Amino acid sequence: MKDVKCECGHVNPHGTVLCEACGKILDEEEKKKQLLDMRYEGSARRSQTYSKTIIDKIWNFFSSVKVGVWLIVITLIASILGTILPQKMYIDLPPEVYYEQEYGWFGKLYYQLGFHDLYGSWWYLLLIAMIGISLVICSLDRVVPLYKALKAQRVTRHEGFLKRQRIFGINTLVNQQDIDIVKERLKQKHYHVREENGDLLAEKGRFSRWGPYVNHVGLIIFLFGGMLRFVPGVYVNENLWVREGETALVPETGEQLYLQNNKFILQHYDKEKNKTFEKALERAGDVVKNYQSNVVLYKRSGEKIPGEKPKLEKVKDYKVRVNHPLTFEGYSIYQSSYRSEMNSMTFNLINKKTEQSFGELTINLQDPKEKYDLGNGYSVKILNYFPDFEFAKNGEPSTKSRVPNNPAFIFRMTAPDKPKGETSFVAIRQTIEPFGDNTYKMAFKGIGTKNVSGFTVRKDSSLWVIIIGGILFMIGVIQGAYWNHRRIWVQHKNGEVWIAAHTNKNWYGLKREIEKVLEDTNLGNPEDQLQSETTDKEGV
Amino acid sequence: MAALSSNLLFSAFILYLIATLFFGGSIKAKKDLNDTKTTNNWGKIAVFLTIVGFISQLGYFITRWIAAGHAPVSNMFEFTTFFGMALVGAFIIIYFIYRTTLLGLFTMPVAILVIAYASMFPRDISPLIPALQSYWLHIHVTTAAIGEAILAISFAAGLIYLVKVIDQTKSNKKTFWLEFVMFGLVTVIGFVAVSSIFAGAGYQEKFNWIDKHGNQAEIEYLMPALTGPHEGELLTKDGFKPLVEMPAIINAKKLNTVIWSFAAGIILYALIRLILRKRIGAALKPLVKNIKLDFVDEISYRSVLIGFPVFTLGALIFAMIWAQEAWSRFWGWDPKEVWALITWLFYAAFMHLRLSKGWHGEKSAWLAVIGFAIIMFNLVAVNLIIAGLHSYAGS
Ligand code: HEM
């Protein structure tokens, strides 16, 4: 494709509408318009120039702001759908049960359409990806030609260019003094004023034109950072439960970090001590003040030897609270929940008839002993232990898990008068005596509980990418929104002085500024050629 | 301290009311104005009162902060009140850029409605649950509210534009939707009116009812129950018997409040129409006679431009920082988060349409109205209806 040489001598790329240097109209279509389309300086955008190959077509599709806006609007509507019912991460039942049970046919339909996991669905991700592509292409399509055109612009502009600016005015009888005053005033208003053959171009805030592109780059980096999460190793998100007094390996740390939980603390607000909150507390009942785990973080030292206990070196003591995670080497450990777990059970060995006690024993539910000797010839043996007891399908007692949620035992109780022992099955609120009538009984006395802290272990190496994207986005929007690009041309044409002006936004401000600049000079205020009668007529 | 705080808020409210009257006066007396003189004495007094009211409300904010030990933005009452204050603050700033009192006449009533609405929620100073004990939360909430308030100014300006541009001599879709917006505002008054009346009369009635899990519970209504709870059994002697009973999955109490508010809104609206003998939009028309259309259009757009970055910072970026600290993830697709994203996408679409499709003037004004509706939806409906981590449950 050939470049186009303008009569001013500047060589423009193929597809240019307005000469980059002097603004002369190169495209016949544009000449018919009363006002120029100045959005991209009439520069040669790829999407407006080529449309032959498939690549051209894809490029043109994504470079259209119309398409971009549609993508945004569709994403917006899709996002709304996901807020009608709770998403799957906020429910605590299996989704196939939950939605129908809670919301009837509507819930079922919602689930069947996949809206229960809308933001993780392939088509939602596709929408976001398309926005990303659109951002890249759309920005590239405009920013390069715009940059070139603004760089190549000359002070003196073509008549047709000035005449077709939205703000335009002609003055006869002007003396140079007035022009000098205007020039001075423009400088005072922080315009960068260039002069060529007595013609003026005053410009300010050009950098704000890059604002949208900077913010789009920020967005792209942000989206890219979000995608990094799918790369293995970048993102760690694990749950870790640690009982009070125990030390656990922190998952996904290459068996490097260990966490010891010394104590879990749960505090409520006290009406008596916090008089300010008295009324609110009366209304709301118990309000939690603090969830806290006092922990010690250890790091393994030396090589890992299979079968041997790791050597641990203390890293730090910390009080993990909500909003105050423990961070170390990129890992963050959050206080995310807690539960209290049965830890021990205490029984009395009694004679069923006389209720006489022959001793008490406490069973550690994590680590029960095999035999408990109560002295005087009395002892209890644990034949079998089911921490999380249930009857299996075949009717046999079995355990669901190793967590002592519902402990059950088979005891053999030995006494001087029962040297062979008696067998008894004991679960919570339930005793079965498989061989008929026992003399002795394990009478339930009490349970001991222990708190278990629930932590979330998080490592997110993509975070800094996301942070950079966010910062860049903010810089870009502020750049584009809080400043604007203004240009004022004061030029000699046909023995008259023509004034034209352009801004990318905020025309009212520009007009006010021009008024101030031209105050008390012979130069009259230019007209706003767009503010036509119809839009400005008084209300009926 | 707490009492002083309430008094300051009350005086601010009254000052805003009086200021609104003066704004009205300044428009009526506009005849002596010309290009060089843009404000008359009425207008000056109005702006002065607004600023005094704002300072008074700032006093409320600071004293309540001292009393509570944390920034008062942690429940529905506090947050909404703060939003009202931000709205006034945003107006003051925009006023000093553009110096039009007409904007005050449209903004102040909205701010007054917001604060009145806020006062219908429990006003006790409440303690913070652990997740809320973070200064990032306070920075996030206040910045988001300020951003939303600035965006709301574009709604006020958009409304002026629409009142002026829409031809009221024949009724069509446009006049209908404009009236719909007006009706929406009147309904807020309706809500405030019924809530205050029943609260003033000390009305309550209690029910036993069965929730959707089949559990029995007790519920207290503060308005006569038109819609009763599921299998509700009235416990209060001489209580109002519900007209209909709701299934368990519908929150009958909230629905009841909504019905009462709409009923009051409809009655109020009908009364206003009877008195005015024309649409509210038509009645407001003379007030906007002297303003230039592209001037209000620019105010509206400018507010979006100023508000959008603040909103992004507050409602998305600061929110993410806080969420990362409190919940271990910066984004969790919680309904409130999603609605902030929706608001943000909407204004992004708005700016793109304006910049590249040339949606200026009337279209832009409608978009500003829709944007405000989304913000209000996020504030009202998402907090109260769609439960989530952020919903100030119970208050
Ligand atoms: C959700 C994502 C997006 C956000 C938040 C966003 C944000 C912005 C903002 C704030 C502006 C400046 C607008 C103004 O100053 O009034 C802008 C301009 C622009 N955006 Fe986006 N944008 C997004 C997506 C897109 C997409 C998908 C496209 C591609 C089609 C696009 C193309 C443009 C263009 C062409 C401009 C105008 C630049 C100019 O004329 O100087 N944007 N965008």
Q: Tell me: the pLDDT tens digits for A36-63?
A: 888 788 787 877 777 778 888 888 888 8
Which domain-ending residue is among B237, B262, B277?
Answer: B277
* Cα–ligand 1 centroid distance for B358 (angstroms): 14
Same domain, B134 and B27: yes
Same domain, A359 and A440: yes
**pLDDT tens series, chain B, 395 aa:** 778 988 999 999 999 999 999 998 888 765 555 444 567 788 889 999 999 999 999 999 999 999 888 899 988 899 999 999 999 999 999 999 888 889 999 999 999 999 999 988 888 888 888 888 888 889 999 999 999 999 999 999 999 999 999 988 888 899 999 999 999 999 989 998 998 898 888 888 888 888 777 788 888 888 888 888 888 788 887 778 888 888 877 778 888 888 898 999 999 999 999 999 889 988 888 888 888 888 899 999 999 999 999 999 999 999 999 998 888 888 888 888 899 999 999 999 999 999 887 788 889 999 999 999 999 988 887 766 654 444 443 33
Q: What would the 3-class secondary structure string for B212-265 be?
A: CCCCEEEEEECCCCCEECCCCEECCCCCCCCCEECCCCCCHHHHHHHHHHHHHH
Which residue shows structure tokens 């894809």? A58
Same domain, B27 and B152: yes
Same domain, A497 and A525: yes
For B303, name the nearest residue in chain A, comparing CA atoms only.
A481
Q: Which of A323, A326, A338, A472 to mutate to test the interface with B (most CBs of B within 10 A)?
A: A323
Residue A533 forms part of a structural domain:
yes
Segments of chain A with pLDDT less than 70: 1, 531-540
Residue A39 CB–ligand 1 contact under 6 Å = yes
CB contact under 8 A, A289 and B127: yes
Same domain, B263 and B305: no
Atom of ligand 1 nearest to the CA of A481: 15
Same domain, A319 and A458: yes
Residue B230 forms part of a structural domain:
yes
Residue pair A374/A385 in contact (Cβ under 8 Å)? The answer is no
CB-based contact, A477 to chain B, within 8 Å: yes
Handedness of CA B181, B184, B188, B189 (dihedral sign): positive
Token pair, residue B74, equals 């942690």
Residue B362 forms part of a structural domain:
yes
Other Cβ atoms within 10 Å of A370 Cβ, number: 8
Which residues contact residue A412 at a Cβ distance below 8 angstroms, ignoring those fewer than 6 apart?
A380, A381, A383, A421, A422, A423
Residue A16 forms part of a structural domain:
no
Count up the domains in chain A and report the number.
Answer: 4
Could you give the angle at the alpha carbon of B146 between the alpha carbons of B140 and B147, nearest 5°?
85
Chain A closest-CA separation from residue B379 CA (Å)? 14
Which of B257, B259, B190 shows the shortest CA–CA distance to B219? B257
CB-based contact, B323 to chain A, within 8 Å: no
Parallel, antiparallel, or unpaired: how do β-strands B233-234 and B205-210 relate?
antiparallel
In chain B the first and final C-alpha atoms are separated, in Å, by 22
pTM of the model: 0.88
Which domain-ending residue is among A448, A474, A493?
Answer: A448
Between CA A102 and CA A84 the distance in angstroms is 13
CB-based contact, A75 to chain B, within 8 Å: yes
Between CA B8 and CA B28 the distance in angstroms is 30
The single-letter code of the amino acid at A476 is: G
Residue A27 forms part of a structural domain:
no
Residue A249 forms part of a structural domain:
yes
Query: Judged by CB atoms within 8 Å, which residues 233-252 of B form the interface with A?
Result: 249
Same domain, B30 and B139: yes
Between CA B160 and CA B170 the distance in angstroms is 19
Which residue shows structure tokens 């007790």? B218
Chain A closest-CA separation from residue B344 CA (Å)? 9
Contacts of B250-254 with CB under 8 Å at 24 or more apart are B251/B385, B252/B225, B252/B227, B252/B228, B253/B219, B253/B221, B253/B225, B253/B229, B254/B384, B254/B385
Same domain, B302 and B248: no
Same domain, B257 and B336: no
Task: Supply the residue whose CA is at minimum distance from atom 9 of ligand 1.
Answer: A212
pLDDT of residue B41: 83
pLDDT of residue B60: 95
CB contact under 8 A, B338 and A83: yes
> CA-CA-CA-CA torsion for A274, A276, A277, A278, nearest 10 degrees?
80
Same domain, B364 and B343: yes
CB contact under 8 A, B127 and A280: yes
Lateral strand order in the sheet of A167-171 = A192-196, A199-204, A486-493, A496-503, A167-171, A527-528
Radius of gyration of chain A (CA): 39
Which of B136, B124, B114, B3 shows the shortest CA–CA distance to B75? B124
Between CA B173 and CA B102 the distance in angstroms is 26
* Cα–ligand 1 centroid distance for B383 (angstroms): 30
Count up the domains in chain B and report the number.
Answer: 2
pLDDT of residue B320: 93
Provide the number of CB pairs (under 8 Å) joining chain A to chain B: 158
Which of A286, A352, A370, A327 shows the shortest CA–CA distance to A463? A327
CB-based contact, B167 to chain A, within 8 Å: yes
Query: Judged by CB atoms within 8 Å, which residues 273-302 of B form the interface with A?
Result: 285, 288-289, 292-295, 298, 301-302
Atom of ligand 1 nearest to the CA of A62: 30
Q: Which domain holds residue A373?
A: 344-448
CB contact under 8 A, A102 and B325: no
* Cα–ligand 1 centroid distance for A219 (angstroms): 10
Token pair, residue B310, equals 């603040």
> CA-CA-CA-CA torsion for A416, A421, A425, A429, nearest 10 degrees?
-10
Residue B175 forms part of a structural domain:
no
CB contact under 8 A, A72 and B249: no
Residue A19 forms part of a structural domain:
no
Same domain, B151 and B285: yes
* Cα–ligand 1 centroid distance for B352 (angstroms): 6
Same domain, B244 and B301: no
Residue B351 CB–ligand 1 contact under 6 Å = yes
Parallel, antiparallel, or unpaired: how do β-strands B244-245 and B227-228 relate?
parallel
CB-based contact, B254 to chain A, within 8 Å: no
Please, which residues bridge with residue A195 across strands? Answer: A200
Pocket test of ligand 1: the residue of A206, A216, A473 to mutate, having most ligand atoms within 8 Å of its CB, is: A216
SS3 call for A530: coil
Same domain, A241 and A104: no
Radius of gyration of chain B (CA): 22
Between CA A355 and CA A221 the distance in angstroms is 75
Chain B closest-CA separation from residue A12 CA (Å)? 24
Q: What's the complex ipTM?
A: 0.89
Residue B311 forms part of a structural domain:
yes
Same domain, B98 and B87: yes
Name chain B contacts of A507, Cβ cutoff 8 Å. Answer: 294, 298
CB-based contact, B353 to chain A, within 8 Å: yes
CB-based contact, A105 to chain B, within 8 Å: no
For B302, name the nearest residue in chain A, comparing CA atoms only.
A506
Pocket test of ligand 1: the residue of A65, A74, A224, A484 to mutate, having most ligand atoms within 8 Å of its CB, is: A65
pLDDT of residue B386: 59
Same domain, A78 and A96: yes
Task: Supply the residue whose CA is at minimum distance from atom 27 of ligand 1.
Answer: A68
Residue A138 CB–ligand 1 contact under 6 Å = yes
Same domain, A424 and A488: no
Q: Which domain holds residue B255?
A: 184-277
Same domain, B345 and B270: no
* Cα–ligand 1 centroid distance for A472 (angstroms): 14
Atom of ligand 1 nearest to the CA of B304: 16
Name chain B contacts of A473, Cβ cutoff 8 Å. Answer: 312
Same domain, A310 and A458: yes
Residue A476 CB–ligand 1 contact under 6 Å = no
CB-based contact, B214 to chain A, within 8 Å: no
Token pair, residue A129, equals 């990806």
Same domain, A335 and A351: no
Which domain-ending residue is among A421, A448, A475?
Answer: A448
Residue B179 forms part of a structural domain:
no
pLDDT of residue A538: 38
Which domain-ending residue is among A426, A448, A470?
Answer: A448
Token pair, residue A425, equals 């099955």
Residue A387 CB–ligand 1 contact under 6 Å = no
pLDDT of residue B38: 62
Q: Which of B6, B38, B124 to mutate to test the interface with A (most CBs of A within 10 A)?
A: B124
Residue B204 forms part of a structural domain:
yes
Same domain, A117 and A178: no
Task: Supply the residue whose CA is at minimum distance from atom 5 of ligand 1.
Answer: B348
Chain B closest-CA separation from residue A315 CA (Å)? 21
CB contact under 8 A, A287 and B164: no
Q: Residues A10-32, buried b or exposed e (16+ Cβ, 10 A)?
A: bebbebbbbbbbbbbbbeeeeee
Distances (CA, A) of B271 to A391, A510, A535, B181, B266: 71, 45, 34, 17, 8
Same domain, B150 and B292: yes
Which domain-ending residue is among B277, B292, B314?
Answer: B277
Which residues contact residue B340 at a Cβ distance below 8 angstroms, ignoring those fewer than 6 apart?
B144, B315, B316, B319, B378
Query: Judged by CB atoms within 8 Å, which residues 383-412 of A form the interface with B?
Result: none
Same domain, A501 and A425: no
Residue pair B386/B182 in contact (Cβ under 8 Å)? The answer is no
Which residues contact residue B154 at a Cβ distance below 8 angstroms, ignoring those fewer than 6 apart?
B299, B300, B301, B303, B304, B307, B368, B371, B372
Alpha helices in A65-121 (DSSP H): 65-81, 95-112
Same domain, A354 and A409: yes
How many residues appear in chain B? 395
Task: Supply the residue whose CA is at minimum distance from atom 17 of ligand 1.
Answer: A212
Which domain-ending residue is among B231, B261, B277?
Answer: B277
Same domain, A298 and A362: no
Between CA A108 and CA A394 the distance in angstroms is 34
Residue A413 forms part of a structural domain:
yes
Residue A217 CB–ligand 1 contact under 6 Å = no
Query: Judged by CB atoms within 8 Å, which residues 31-70 of B form the interface with A?
Result: 67-69
